[in-house]
Structure 1
C-alpha cells in the first residue's frame, strides 16, 4: 500500500509563525515535558512517599511501575487513535486527563490509591506522547526531521533527567504532593499553546478501522510482561505468578504477531519492521531506557541513603546529566540531518556505557567530581541514543502511521524502563542477601538469620539500615556501615550489567543504515 500526503492549506488568519512546523514543536513542548518529567520526578520523592505512606520498596517500585504500566499497555492503542481521529484532539484529551489524574494522585491518602491513579495518569500520558510525535512527523519534511527530533529529544531528555532536580526542590520546600501539583500550571500552559498553535484537527488515517482483536492481544501481552517485571524482584523469578505472567506475555505476543498478518488494516503494520533501522532502533531504545531508568531509580537511594544528601542536594548532583541531555540532543539532531543516525547513535551508546561503568565503581566516599563526570558521559550518550533511535523508528515510517510508529518507540522506552528497574532491582536484592551476612561478620556483628535477611533486604536496598532495638552509637555505626557496603555491592554489579548491555547495543547499532532522510517519494508499507 502506498501512502502519500499533501500539505494542508493554511488556516485563515494564521500568522507566518503559526503556519511554521516549529510552532507545532513549541505547542507540544510543555505537554511532552510534563509526561517525561513524571516518569522520573518521583525518584527523589520516593523516600518521602515511603515515609509518609509507610510504603515498602516493592510498593515504591509500583509508584514508578504503575505509571509505566499505564503508558506501556495503552501506547499502541493510543497511537492508532491518533492516526484514526487526529493528533490534535488526541493530544488535548491526553493533556487534560493527565492534569486531572495528577491532582488525584496528590490527594491520595494511601499508597494503593496513589498507585491506582498513577496507572490512570500513565494512560493519559499514552494518549499524549504518540499524538505529539505524530504532529511532528506530519509537520516537518523528512530532510528536517533530524533537527526536530533533536529538539524533541532535548525536551524529553531534559525533563526526564531534570525530574530528580525539580522533585528534590519541591519535596525539600513543600512535600511529595508538590511533585504532582506542579502539573496543574504546566498542563494549563500546554492546553493554551495547543489550542493556539496547532492547526485544526486532520486525521491522517481517517478511513481505517480499529483492530479490536489486535488491541486486546497486544494489551494483554504488554500488561503480563510488565506485571512479571514488576513482581519478580519481590516474589522471585521462579515464583508461579512470575512464570505464568511471562507465559501469558509470550502466548499473547505470538498470537498478536500471527493475527496482524490477517486484517487489511492491522493495528501495527508489520511491514514497518522490515526496515532494519526501525527494528534495530526499537532494541536500542529498550537498552537506552534500561540504563536511564534503572540508574535513576537506584542512584537516588545511594545519594540520599548512603551519602546522606537531602532531596534538593540529590537533584543538584544530577544537574550535570540534565545539562548534557539538554545541550546534546539539538546538536545530535543537526548531525542526523547530515550523516544519518548510525554514527551518533553508536557513539552515544559507547559514551553511555563508559558512564555506567564509572557509576558501577561508586564507593561510600566517592567524590562529587567523579560522580558528575560519570553523569556527563551518561547524559551525552543517552541523548544521542534517544535522538538517533527516535529518528530511525519514526523517520522511516510513513506519515500515515506516524502515531503507531511513535507508540512503538515509546512502548519500547517504557518497557525498557520497567526492565531496567526490575532486572537491576533483582540483581540488587540478590546481591544484598548474599553479601550482607559477610559484612555483618566483618564488623563483629551477629550474622542475621534467613528470616531477618528477608525483612532487612527492602530497607538496605533503599540505602538504609535496620538498627537493633536499643543499639548504642557504636553498634548503630557498625550496622549502618555493613548495610551500606552490601548496598554498594548490589549497586556495582547492577550498574556493571547495564554498562555491558549498552556496550552490546553499540555493536548492534553498527547494522543500522547510515543514509540520511530526504524529501523523497512515499514509503511503501
Structure 2
C-alpha cells in the first residue's frame, strides 16, 4: 500500500488533480475530514433512526388509517425493497456525479418523503412515500461512506467508520424509546416529522462543509443494461424472501422468483465482464479481502437481524413489556455497540481486521448460544448479559467489514463499494429473518400440540388450531374472556413455552452461522488502496 503524505497544513487546499478531475479544491473548514464525518453522521442518523422508530408507529398507523395487517407489512416491505434494489446503482450515481451531490439529494428527498408520509391520509400514500424514502436512503448511505473513503487516509479510515458505526448504534437504540414517546404524546405522524429538522441541519452543514472529492478515473457513462439486470435480480430475490413466509419455501412461486433472480445475477455477472464501464466491476472481487468482507457482512446480518427479530416479540408478548420498556431492555446491546464501535476502529487500525473480526464473531456466536437458553421467565440480569456480549461482538464486525469492503475498493468505485456493503447487510438481514422465521415456525408447530396436550387443555378444531399456531409464532397467548384463571395460566404456559423453544432453535442456528462467519473473517485484511487526501488529518 502506498499512501502519499505531506506536511501541508490542515486548512491548505488539496493539490489539483492531474486531469482537472472535477474535484473541488479544499478551502478552510470545507472538506475537513472530521467535519465531513460530523455532517454525514446527521444524515446517517436520520436513516438509522427511521429503521426502528417506524416499527413502534405501525400499530397506531394501522388503527388510525384502518389498515390491514398486510398494509402495515408493506409499510416496511416497500421501504426494504426500494432500498435493497437501488443501493448499488445509487452508489454508482455518487461515483459518477459526486458523493456530495448524491448525499445532499438523498437528505432532501428523505426529509421530504418523511413530511409527505406525516401528511398522508391513507395507507396507500404512506406505502408510496415509504418507497420514496427507501430510494432516497439508498442515495444517502453509500454516498456517506464514499465521502468518508475519499476524505480520510487509510490509517484513519477505521477510526472514522468506528464513529460512523457508533452513530448508527445510538440512532437505532433511540428509535424504540423516542418512537414510543412521540406516538404516545404527539401521534404517529410525529415519528416522520422528526426527520425534517434533522434533514435540514444535515443539508445546511452539507452545503457549507462537504467537499466534492472525485477520482480522476470516475466513470463517465452508465451501464443501463447492468442496472436493469441487477435491479431485477435484487427485486426477485428480496420479493421471494418477503413472500416466502406466506407462500412457503417449496411453493412454485417462491422457487420461480429465486430461479429468475439466480438467472438474472448470472447474466449480470457475464455482462459486467463485457461492458466498457460496468455498474459493478467484477474485477473488484479479485480482491479476496473485499469478497470475504462482503460475505462476512451477509453472514453477520443473517445471524444478528434474523435472531434479534424475535426478541421484540419475546420482550413484549412473553414478558409483557411496553414498547418503551422493551427498548430500554435492549439498551445493553445498543449501548455496547455505541461504546465498542470507536474502540474497535482503533484496535483494527493498530492490528488489522483479521483477528478482531474473527474473535468478534466468536463472541457473537457465544451470545447467540446464550440467548438460545432463555426461558419465558428469564429476568433482566441474564438477558442484559447476553445482549451486552452480542453488542461487543457485533461492533467490530460492523466497523471492520465495512472498512474491508470500502477500503479495498479503488477510490473511483467507493460509492459502489458503499452500496455493496449496504446491500450485503440488507440481503443478509432479509434472509436471516425469513429463514430463521421458517425454522422457528416449524419448531412452534411441532412443540405447541405437545405442550397443549401436556397441559391437559381441550383439543382444538383445525381452524382454531391454525389461529393458535399463528398467534404462538409471535408469542401471543390468545386467552378468551371469561377463561378460568388456572386454564388461562395453562394456555400461556403452553404458548410461551412453544415460542421460547422456537426462538431458542433460531438462536442456535444464528450461532452456527456466526461461527462460519468467524472462519470467513480469517480472509480479511486492511484496505490496500489509498483512502484519500494527501494531507495529514
Same fold flag (TM > 0.5)? yes
Q: Name the SS of the counterpart of 1:18 in structure 2.
A: coil
CA distance in 2 between counterparts of 1:64 and 1:43 reads 8
* Root-mean-square deviation over aligned CA pairs: 2.8
Select the residue among 400, 403, 406 that pairs with 1:394: 406
CA distance in 2 between counterparts of 1:73 and 1:86 reads 21
Select the residue among 145, 163, 176 that pairs with 1:151: 163
CA distance in 1 between counterparts of 2:173 and 2:274 reads 42
Mapped pair 1:29 → 2:29: no
Select the residue among 94, 102, 107 that pairs with 1:95: 107
CA deviation map 1:403-444 (0-9, x unaligned): 001111110011111112111222222222222222222222
CA distance in 1 between counterparts of 2:371 and 2:58 reads 21
CA distance in 1 between counterparts of 2:405 and 2:262 reads 23
- Tell me by how many angstroms 1:170 deviates: 3.0
Unmatched tracts of structure 1, length 5 or more: none
CA deviation map 1:243-265 (0-9, x unaligned): 11111110101110011010110
CA distance in 2 between counterparts of 1:30 and 1:71 reads 19
CA deviation map 1:87-135 (0-9, x unaligned): 1111111111111222333344555543343222111100001111111
Mapped pair 1:362 → 2:364: no
Select the residue among 118, 143, 164 that pairs with 2:130: 118
Structure 2 counterpart of 1:308: 320
Please say if residues 249 and 255 of structure 2, whose CA atoms lie closer than 8 Å, have aligned partners that are also in contact.
yes
Structure 1 counterpart of 2:227: 215
Please say if residues 302 and 429 of structure 2, whose CA atoms lie closer than 8 Å, have aligned partners that are also in contact.
yes
Please say if residues 104 and 203 of structure 2, whose CA atoms lie closer than 8 Å, have aligned partners that are also in contact.
yes
Select the residue among 492, 497, 512 that pairs with 1:485: 497
- Tell me by how many angstroms 1:472 deviates: 3.9
Structure 1 counterpart of 2:237: 225
Select the residue among 271, 274, 283 that pairs with 1:262: 274
CA deviation map 1:454-475 (0-9, x unaligned): 3333332222123346534443
Please say if residues 475 and 499 of structure 2, whose CA atoms lie closer than 8 Å, have aligned partners that are also in contact.
yes
**TM (normalized to structure 2)?**
0.89
**TM (normalized to structure 1)?**
0.91
Structure 1 counterpart of 2:149: 137
Structure 2 counterpart of 1:177: 189
Structure 1 counterpart of 2:517: 505
Please say if residues 44 and 315 of structure 1, whose CA atoms lie closer than 8 Å, have aligned partners that are also in contact.
no
| Larger mean Cα displacement after TM superposition, 399-408 or 452-461 | 452-461
Unmatched tracts of structure 2, length 5 or more: 6-12, 17-22
Mapped pair 1:427 → 2:439: yes
CA deviation map 1:211-256 (0-9, x unaligned): 0000000001000000111110122111122111111110101110
Mapped pair 1:38 → 2:50: yes
- Tell me by how many angstroms 1:28 deviates: 0.6
Please say if residues 150 and 531 of structure 2, whose CA atoms lie closer than 8 Å, have aligned partners that are also in contact.
no
- Tell me by how many angstroms 1:480 deviates: 2.6
Mapped pair 1:165 → 2:214: no
- Tell me by how many angstroms 1:196 deviates: 1.6
Distance 1:291 1:102, change over 3 A: farther
Please say if residues 152 and 532 of structure 2, whose CA atoms lie closer than 8 Å, have aligned partners that are also in contact.
no
Structure 2 counterpart of 1:243: 255
CA distance in 1 between counterparts of 2:522 and 2:25 reads 47
Please say if residues 221 and 277 of structure 2, whose CA atoms lie closer than 8 Å, have aligned partners that are also in contact.
yes
CA deviation map 1:265-293 (0-9, x unaligned): 00011111111110010111112212332
Q: Name the SS of the counterpart of 1:397 in structure 2.
A: coil
- Tell me by how many angstroms 1:146 deviates: 1.3
CA distance in 2 between counterparts of 1:91 and 1:210 reads 19
